[in-house]
Amino acid sequence: MTFDRTLKIAPSILSADFANFGLEIQAIEDQGCDWVHVDVMDGHFVPNLTFGPPLCAAIRPHIKTVMDVHLMISPVDQYIEAYAAAGADYITAHVEAGAHTHRTMQAIRATGAKAGVALNPATPAGEIEYLLDMIDMVCVMTVNPGFGGQKFIHSQIEKVRQLRAMIGDRPIHIEIDGGVTPETAPLVVAAGADVLVAGSAVFKGGSVANPAPYGENIRAIRVAAAQ
Ligand code: DX5
Ligand code: ZN
């Protein structure tokens, strides 16, 4: 994977039909998404439970693009190898998940996966200042993690601007996660984001049997973001 800052749309399969992951992934990729975002929740760091490593391994063969695994779990370090072995291209962990984010980023890169660090809405940009030379992505949470379909938190736009300035020429993506719609996408892209996660805004109105709305939804975000 070569680094570039062209806009990427990463649908979150948290909003997919859980009985049909293989076909849902095929549908969103056929409809033009760039990455596939997998939200891992532990019922402890966040008040919800989702996917373990075996589920990730099972869906991996269906992903032709990029598997972007977002770990909302604490502790996190002891699960990194299992998610890497399941085929994650990017593994993102939260700075709030433990006291040793530096070690966590080293552990992710040691598996060969790209390392992402996520910031909750209350966490300042400066938290990652000493991680900049060991990460491939920073994920700005624009909702409190745990659920899809929440309202975008506008105060995070300024954080994106600060991160973009801190990153400079380094090959680090800025990913936005939560409440991304055609209305909010242009705000974060103007501030410096290049990867947009979107769950409800991509999956709404469509299904495996009727995937065209997925494509329309992805295009609507892309077109809005380009303005
Ligand atoms: C929130 C997750 C997000 C979420 C996005 O905890 O990390 O990826 O599913 O969903 P929407 O786009 O519906 O806000
Ligand atoms: Zn996520």
| pLDDT tens column, 179-227 | 999 999 999 999 999 999 999 999 999 999 999 999 999 999 999 999 8
Cα 71 to middle of ligand 1, angstroms: 12
DSSP the chain: -----S-EEEEBGGGS-TT-HHHHHHHHHHTT-S-EEEEEEBSSSSS-B---HHHHHHHGGG-SS-EEEEEE-SS-GGGHHHHHHTT-SEEEEEGGG-S-HHHHHHHHHHTTSEEEEEE-TTS-GGGGGGGGGG-SEEEEESS-TT-SSPPP-TTHHHHHHHHHHHHTTS--EEEEESS--TTTHHHHHHHT--EEEESHHHHTT--SSS-HHHHHHHHHHHHHHT-
47-97: per-residue pLDDT in tens? 999 999 999 999 999 999 999 999 999 999 999 999 999 999 999 999 999
Catalytic residue status for 39: yes
Predicted confidence at residue 49, as pLDDT, reads 97
Can you tell me the mean pLDDT for 37-50?
98
**pLDDT at res. 80:** 98
> Best substitution site from 67, 153, 181, 200 to test ligand 1's pocket, by max atoms within 8 Å of Cβ?
200
Is residue 46 scored above 90 in pLDDT?
Answer: yes
Q: Which superfamily, per CATH, for 8-226?
A: Aldolase class I (3.20.20.70)
Task: Dump pLDDT digits (tens) for 137-189.
Answer: 999 999 999 999 999 999 999 999 999 999 999 999 999 999 999 999 999 99
What residues have a C-beta under 5 A from ligand 2, the ion? Answer: 39, 70, 177
Task: Identify the band that residue 1 occupies on the pLDDT scale cut at 50, 70 and 90.
Answer: confident
